[in-house]
Chains A and B, each alone.
Chain A
Amino acid sequence: AQTVTQSQPEMSVQEAETVTLSCTYDTSESDYYLFWYKQPPSRQMILVIRQEAYKQQNATENRFSVNFQKAAKSFSLKISDSQLGDAAMYFCAYRSAKNNDMRFGAGTRLTVKP
């Protein structure tokens, strides 16, 4: 079974600065998808960004970008110009192209300091 590891239980960033959240995964598959979800205190699960494993180009969504290293099985999230509203739990997730289940990492709690 695939596993997803987020090695940083907590991270902190100053407002307007940049922060990188780490994620590694273990799989024997070649075709899969990776996601970052954000969960604010409201509990809502919000998709931040997604990456197809077959694409070499790193995904970008406004202030959010990823560093996808397929050989290293690494998928980090970079948040630029951090805002107070970015404070939340961030979950890295893996989804196989073969089946439907999405597996999550343990999460990283991000604090943004004004």
Chain B
Amino acid sequence: DTAVSQTPKYLVTQMGNDKSIKCEQNLGHDTMYWYKQDSKKFLKIMFSYNNKELIINETVPNRFSPKSPDKAHLNLHINSLELGDSAVYFCASSLRGAPGEKLFFGSGTQLSVL
């Protein structure tokens, strides 16, 4: 049983399209994240949700809209995709009251915008 699962693993799409990436965790965690890993492998936090509430929103274009229907799910919707959005997007989860614990990562979604 996968602890943090993301779908799809690969996403190839045209510029201007709208796409969504889904994430689910079965660890009972209350906090979920989206990270973006660019072509140089730099991992940058995008969003963090705690119990469905947005707590971190880094400088991300408003074409990116996260949605957390419940604390086990955090989806990422991207409007009007651009070439620069091509990257690997990682979902992760943790417990808010346990900062010493690791983040559990999904296997990533490789987004290619053509």
Distance of A41 from chain B, by nearest CB (Å): 11
Q: Chain B interface residue count: which class? A: 20 to 34
Q: Quick one: given A35-B102, A107-B41, are A100 and B56 in contact (CB under 8 Å)?
A: yes
Q: How far is the CA of A103 from the CA of B56 in the complex (A)?
A: 12
Q: Are A43 and B41 in contact, CB atoms less than 8 angstroms apart? A: no
| Secondary structure of the A contact surface, majority rule | strand
| Secondary structure of the B contact surface, majority rule | strand
Q: Chain A interface residue count: which class? A: 20 to 34
Q: Which residues of chain B (18-69) have a CB below 8 Å from chain A?
A: 31, 33, 40-45, 48, 50, 55-56
- Residue from A97, A98, A107 having most chain B Cβ neighbours under 10 A: A107
Q: B residues near A, CB below 8 A?
A: 31, 33, 40-45, 48, 50, 55-56, 88, 90, 92, 94, 96, 99-100, 102-103, 105, 107-108, 110
